[in-house]
Structure 1
């Protein structure tokens, strides 16, 4: 059977399913620097808070959420309105399925409509991979056009080990002398963006 994947807007009611994806990253990896898995209530609040200003989307297959992505504020100062930090998590059973690429493509389509020009990814990094961290995330972002712009040495401590953190950057817009104003996500009508399905046979 030819299965399809759908990208749609996340809702606070998705918190339980999304947490099932996120929890292993907290409990078993240094990909997330959180020590404890957030509660369902806290996660619902995170989704609600994000959607006021930025997109929060999920990838579904046969009604099951298999990955999600969102962006958050890069810096609170007004001058940073055109820059955001991206985040993405995919169910471990769907790694290298193309799910992550489709989520980021959908995010970029929305962010361009918001007049965002700069994307930044904050990624845990290690010079010696272990059972808690590989550098797959860095390579994934490189594949999608992100470039390394900064490294912070031994700034994250988890599982009795110090990890580095890197910043990667991707430009998706121009930088004119008078840029168009940032549009909060809550003020947009982006329903058409989520009307996208891709046959599994076309996944990367």
Structure 2
């Protein structure tokens, strides 16, 4: 059984172990160096102040995570969020990514987020470091391509493109409803869901 729950800062070591191969072996992230545990934990802390940060567990072990973060710091962008997901290699291709994103979207919709944005490394010629599986995954979940920045990231002695994809979560009313934090929608309740 898969359990999806809120991440805790104590999970940072397990999450970093999932993320590290993406840095070292792929162009999925344009980072060159695996962040330190302290830096990674600080990234988590910053995101968790307002947005959901979810982990998927199987038999108590974390096998994937997904979170939302601010799309841009300016106030007018507050109804848009950037979404991110990473799965352990052994957990890919089992529908876990879909479940994590569906849970994330449920929370974001309750918060009042209207636009989901995904920044994805892309390539015209797939190689050992990058396929376009992430784009296909997002397309299957209703995301649409809205832009491509050509030869934006240089890694593994190759130039890669970066694309933006988006998905609308709700109606764009005028004025929009006030945005609420993840913590506001949870209240004091610790929400755990089993799928």
What TM-score does the superposition give when structure 1 sets the normalisation length?
0.92
Match of 1:88 in 2: 85
Match of 2:30 in 1: 33
2:148 aligned with 1:151: yes
Q: 1:12 aligns with which of 9, 12, 19?
A: 9
Superposition deviation, residue 193 in structure 1: 8.7
**2:60, 2:149 → 1: CA distance?**
40
| Unmatched 5+ stretches in structure 2 | none
2:107 aligned with 1:110: yes
Write out per-residue CA displacement over residues 18-51 of structure 1, whole angstroms, 9 at most, x where no aligned residue. Answer: 0110000000000010000011111111111111
What TM-score does the superposition give when structure 2 sets the normalisation length?
0.96
Compared CA separation, residues 191 and 160, structure 1 to 2 (3 A): farther
2:163 aligned with 1:166: yes
2:50 aligned with 1:48: no
Match of 1:77 in 2: 74
In the alignment, is the contact (CA less than 8 A) between 1:7 and 1:194 conserved in 2? Answer: no
Q: Give the match's secondary structure for 1:188.
A: helix
Superposition deviation, residue 159 in structure 1: 0.5
2:118 aligned with 1:121: yes
Match of 1:202 in 2: none
Q: 2:176 aligns with which of 176, 179, 182?
A: 179
Q: Give the match's secondary structure for 2:174.
A: coil
Compared CA separation, residues 52 and 65, structure 1 to 2 (3 A): same
Q: Give the match's secondary structure for 2:128.
A: coil
Compared CA separation, residues 57 and 188, structure 1 to 2 (3 A): same
| Unmatched 5+ stretches in structure 1 | 199-204
Q: State the 4+ residue runs in structure 1 displaced beyond 6 angstroms.
A: 190-193
Write out per-residue CA displacement over residues 161-189 of structure 1, whole angstroms, 9 at most, x where no aligned residue. Answer: 10000000000111011211111223331
Q: 1:137 aligns with which of 125, 134, 139?
A: 134
Match of 1:97 in 2: 94
Q: Give the match's secondary structure for 2:126.
A: coil
**1:138, 1:193 → 2: CA distance?**
33
Superposition deviation, residue 190 in structure 1: 6.2
Q: Give the match's secondary structure for 1:196.
A: strand
2:15 aligned with 1:21: no
**1:193, 1:136 → 2: CA distance?**
33
Superposition deviation, residue 196 in structure 1: 2.5
